[in-house]
Amino acid sequence: MSFMRRAVSRSARGAFAQRRWATEQVEGPDGEVWNIDFTGHNSLTDEMEFKASMGSPEPLFRVLNQKGELVSEEHTGLDKEECRIMMTNMVRQSVIDGILYEAQRQGRISFYMTHFGEEATQVGSAMALKPEDMVYAQYREAGVLLYRGYPINSMVAQCIGTKEDTGKGRQMPIHYGSVEHNYQTISSPLGTQLPQAAGAGYTMRVEGKDQVCICYFGDGAASEGDFHPALNFAATLKCQTLFFCRNNGYAISTPAVDQYAGDGIYARGVGYGIRSVRVDGNDVFAVYAATKKARELSIEHQAPVLIEAMTYRGGHHSTSDDSTRYRSKNEVDDWLASSNPIKRLHKFMDAKGWWSKEDDKAIREVTRKEVVSSLNKQEKMDFWPVEELIEDVFEKPTEELIRQRDEVLRHQKAFAEEYAKKA
C-alpha cells in the first residue's frame, strides 16, 4: 500500500507576499522558477512534451482476494472477534436494506437507498476510525452510523419521520444525523459536505487535536464544483481531513467512462498534492488497513489524505431509479457473484472456523425481527406537528417564516381529510 503525494513546502515574505519555496531557491539560465518545487530535479528542458497521464493506472491495494485468501499478512492484524464484528455489521446492513427497500415498495416509507455491494467500504473504514472522529457522509454510509451504535429503531423513525425522529421529520429518508455519534446530518444537494469537511479538518489541525474528519462521497460527487475547492483548501491549509471516495462505477445512470478520462479520483488527489491511495473497496481488510494508515498519516503530517475505494453498486441508485435501463441484470449478477464483500469475508472466516452458516442465519433473523418490530412501532407513532416546522431555524422566527407556516396550516385545515394522522 503506497500513499502517493506531490509534496511541497512554502513560506511567505510578509503578508500575502510572493510565494517562495522554503527549500534552496531554484534558478535556471532564463531566471528563477519560484512557483513549482523542482528540488532535486531539472527545472528547465529544451524538449516539448504534452502529457495526458502520469503513467500507467494506479493499481488497487488488496489484502484478501476473491477466494477469501490472504495475499498479504502484513496489513491484516485482525483477530477472530474483530472479524466477527466486521461480518456482523455488514450482514446487518444488508438485512436492513432488504427490508426497508421492500417497505418503500409497499408504500410504508417514501424513499430509500440501499448499500448492496458496498458494505465493506463502510464497515472497514468505520472500524479504523476513533469514535471522536467526525463523519461527513453522502447518503450511502448508514453502515458507518450503524457500527457506531446508532439504533435500528432510530433509522426507521427517521425514514418515516415520526416523533422519535431527532431530525423532527424535516429531512428526506436516510438523511441520518447524530450528535452523539459524531455523524453530521446528511444534506441532499450533492457534494456540499466536501468543503464543510475541509473546514472541520482545518479546525482540528489548528487546535492540535488527535482527531480527523472523514468525508465520504461518490465518484459522481467528484464531478461537482464543490469537490475541487474542497481538496485545494484542504491541501494548502493542511486540514486533517480524510476524503473517502466510493467509486462504485455509476453516478446514478452515468457510468465512470462518461465521467472522466483520467486515472479516476486517485489522480485528482495526487494532482492537488494530497497523499492518495486506491484500494479494492470490496476487500474489507484492505479498506480497514488503508483508512487506519490514512488516519495516522493525516495526524502525523497535519494534512489531508484521499482514499479511492473501487467497488460496485449492487442495487438501484435509489427507489426512484431503475438501473436495468442503463445496465444489464447479468452485469449486476456477475459482479455480486464474484466481488460481493460479504461473501469474500465469509470464505476467509469459514476457512478459519470463525463464521458458519448458522452464525449467518442467526444474525439475519435477529436483525430482521428488530427491523420489522421497529417498522410496526413507528407506523403507529405521530408525526411532528406542522406548528414546530420553523423552530430551531432562528432564535426568533422571522416574519416571512411565520407567514409561510401559517399558509401551510391553512392549507392543512382546508384539506384535513387528505392528511394522515399517523405514519
The set of catalytic residues is 102, 188, 317-318
**Contact, 152 vs 89, CB < 8 A?**
no
Closest to 59 measured CA to CA, from 315, 233, 266: 266
Whose cell is 421529520? That residue is 169
Residues 6+ apart with CB under 8 A from 293: 1, 3, 277
| N residues, the chain | 423
Helix H, strand E, coil C: the string for 268-287 is HHHHCCCEEEEEECCCHHHH
**Contact, 218 vs 251, CB < 8 A?**
yes
β-pair type (250-251, 254-255): antiparallel
CB atoms near residue 345 (< 10 Å)? 27
Question: Dihedral of CA 258/261/263/265: which sign?
Answer: negative
List the grid coordinates of 368. 430482521
**Gap between the Cα atoms of 420 and 417, Å rounded:** 8
DSSP state of 61: B
List the grid coordinates of 97. 436494506
List the grid coordinates of 60. 488497487
Closest to 227 measured CA to CA, from 260, 261, 270, 269: 269
**Contact, 245 vs 306, CB < 8 A?**
yes
**Gap between the Cα atoms of 396 and 399, Å rounded:** 9
> Which helix H or strand E contains 135, and what residues bound it?
strand 134-136
Closest to 107 measured CA to CA, from 193, 173, 58: 173
**Gap between the Cα atoms of 231 and 272, Å rounded:** 7
DSSP state of 46: S
**Gap between the Cα atoms of 117 and 280, Å rounded:** 12
